[in-house]
Amino acid sequence: MSRLQVSTKVRFSSSGRPHYFLSKLEFNQLAQDPSLAEFHPRQLLINAGWVKWFKKSMPPDHKSDSSDPYYIAERLRSLPGKYWWQFDEHWLALRIRTRLHAHLSKSLVREKSYYQIFLFLSHSAYTQAEPFSDIFGVLSQTLLDQPELLVELEQLPNPDLAARLDELSLHHLRDPLQTATHLKQALEESFPVPANLQPALQDTLHRLSLIIQTLQEQIQTLDAEIRTLAQNNYPEVAYLQSVPGVGPISASGIAPEIAGLQRFEDPLKWDNRRNAYRPRTLREVEDAVAKFAGLWWPQNASGQFVAEDRPLSKRSNAYLRYYLILAADHMRRDIPSYSQFYLRKYAQATKHHHKRALALTARKAVGLFVELLHHHEDFRPEELCA
């Protein structure tokens, strides 16, 4: 490479599916490599799906490490509005934590659902009778982890059972007698479990309970770390958090995934009327962010045919979509205009009413978030009644 002229362009690619963050660290090492400095290297991250569909337009070929770089380079050559990648550890430090938070939250939901399968096998009427408002509350878990205590409580009359439950809860129960009635109903109406299966079910419930408690503790610890980090180093999080209903975790999850609007504003937009490229408008930046999150509905039309069913894309950044929908679910409760929008879309949907209305509400919220990030300002109270 030392014999090449400085003006020579050397292109090489890295294919495969490494971990997202590892690929970025690999790019950073290439950018800082002193042996490549004289060539002024530039890196570009492209979606593997673009190359896959681009290859389908070419004659059939083998899938190999020797042929893949050619198709990657050809797709890159025909890619308009290239945005060259730059390593940004400022956003990456927060993004790693918020993505872990999303992963642990989803794991917690999965483990709780799995726990309830074995809870039904062990006490089939426990969920239906609802003796406690939360199955995974302290008192509920204390009783479920001690089958001998449950057998003892089942023998007590309701007044004595209510007094014992009130004592075990440290007098936190609102109506101990009602709780005792529902608990006794759950124990009496549950299907009997064969004696040889009881130890296995009890052991499974205990182990899953420990996993759930561990996940909850880790999420709480991670919450505190994210709040501290975002408060000290990320003013963009404060802009988003100023919106009613958007908490520090949702705001901290959205901001690093967008990672500044510049990369959505810089690519030029083709203007059919002028037959030339022009800068993007703020609405087009909003559309780009929504598309990046997978919150868009691709049109399917040919000639006079226009498909009525336009499913949600769900491609691109799943973490950004997760936090946008999480924020929208709270905004619809706290902002009247978003509440009205959600109810209108809920009534218009023919199926999956809540999911469709919530996705559309999240798409509407993208416009507000882009506006706040673009103008570097907090949410204005007068917009609450807009």
pTM here?
A: 0.85
Give the domain ranges of the chain: 20-87, 91-227, 241-301+311-385
Measure the CA–CA gap between 163 and 143, rounded to whole angstroms. 15
Question: How distant, in Å, are the alpha carbons of 14, 81, 104, 310 from that of 100?
Answer: 26, 32, 6, 32
Provide the greatest CA pair distance for the chain.
93
Whether residue 208 contacts residue 293, with contact meaning beta carbons closer than 8 Å, is answered with no
Residue 281 has, within 13 A of its CA and on its CB side, a CA count of 5
- Label the pairing between strands 305-306 and 301-302: antiparallel
* Tens digits of pLDDT across the chain (386 residues): 444 444 455 555 555 554 555 456 666 677 777 887 787 777 777 778 888 888 998 898 888 888 888 888 888 888 776 777 777 888 989 999 999 999 999 999 999 999 999 999 999 999 999 999 999 999 999 999 998 999 899 899 999 999 999 999 999 999 999 999 999 999 999 999 999 999 999 999 999 999 999 999 999 999 999 999 999 889 999 999 999 999 999 999 999 999 889 889 888 888 888 898 889 999 999 999 999 999 998 888 888 898 888 888 877 899 999 999 999 999 999 999 999 999 999 999 988 999 999 999 999 999 999 999 999 999 986 644 44
